[in-house]
Amino acid sequence: MRLSVLDQSPIPAGSTGADALHNSIDLARATDDLGYHRYWVAEHHGTPMLACASPEALIGPMAAVTTRIRVGSGGVMLPHYSPLKVAETFSMLSGIFPGRIDLGVGRAPGTDPLTMFALQRDKRHAAPDDFPEQLSELLAYVRDGLPAGHRFARLTALPGLPERPEPWLLGSSPQSGIWAAETGLPYAFADFISPAGADIVARYRDQFQPSRSQASPYVIVAAWALCADTGEEARRLASSARMAFTLMLQGQLMPIPPVDVALRFFEEHAQAASSITRRRRWILGSPDTVRRDLDALVEEYQADELMIVTITHDHAARRRSYELIAQAFDLSTTSNDPPAHTRAAIHS
């Protein structure tokens, strides 16, 4: 089982966004050494909780300080951007770091409606909801090419050729699974957002249409997990993220609070603890417990790969969690083989 990392660049209370970005680069280096397969950075805007607003700005520095791990976006929120600009950016990254760049894209805004509107270049009216067309154009640039007579045909001569990023579709809804199947893309499902996606993933596999670069379906399940030396310590550490997400769902954004602040919060708001537990899947505990629960999740989704997102107030605790999970799964840095699902891109 391949293990990978999804990093949302959490900002601990008492530190800065810059600190969080440096923590992310440090964690990428650490998980590369531990044997994780890929490292994706998320995109969020206008929040004091998460620092990474531009995955492509982190991918380059991360790839530069690592040697074997694949690095990519988890993901680029495509509705904000020109497909050509995204294609050119990730083509350049692929040219600099050949065979290591993933281009994960999603439809979600990654922010609130006001911030989404502020991200638009043209503010005279709302942006159109044309994600399928955007995705098709992006794939034409990075994967499929365009017919010779197409008005954008010459734009497929991207700056990083002959290297190409590996495109992925991210999602947490039935529609994303349908699009991934129709376009012949590998699919990453966010169980940490929607913890009931096994049927969605099964339909993706059943409806998958092979593409020029992807012969068969491939699934990542992305889960929230936190591992510590004891279950009690894991539960303590998890209280920080639980408090932040509880308040986020109530419309209150904040940096990730310290453990003592979070524990006091849940002592005073016991019902809030129960509510956030019901809405999200929280995999946490000692190494044996986390290994058992992650194995069960993989079995539930019949996933080909497991991606883990972890948020703590203390960066050292987050590093330690990934270290313990690597040990529990006996990861090794000795295998540098390319992913089994990867197929050589066919140049147009």
What's the pLDDT tens digit per position in 115-133?
777 777 777 777 778 899 9
Residue 217 and residue 38: Cα distance in Å, rounded?
A: 18
Residue 199's CB is within 10 A of a number of other CB atoms, namely 11
Residue 153: the pLDDT is 85
By C-alpha distance, which of 163, 208, 162 is closest to 186? Answer: 208
Q: Say whether pLDDT at 340 is over 70.
A: no
Which residues have C-beta within 8 Å of that of residue 198, sequence separation ≥ 6?
300, 301, 302
User: pLDDT tens digits for 169-190?
Assistant: 999 999 999 999 999 999 999 9
Residue with tokens 């290297």: 163
Cis peptide before 258 (omega within 30 of 0): no
The tens digit of pLDDT for each residue in 205-249 reads: 999 999 988 999 999 999 999 999 999 999 999 999 999 999 988
pLDDT tens-digit readout, 280-335: 899 999 999 999 999 999 999 999 999 999 999 999 999 999 999 999 999 975 44
Q: Which domains does the chain have, with CATH numbers?
A: 2-229+283-328 (3.20.20.30)
Count of CA atoms in the C-beta half-sphere (13 A) of 47: 31
Considering only CA atoms, which of 155, 185, 136 is closest in space to residue 85? 155
Q: What's the pLDDT at 276?
A: 67
- CA dist., res. 93 & res. 59, Å (int): 8
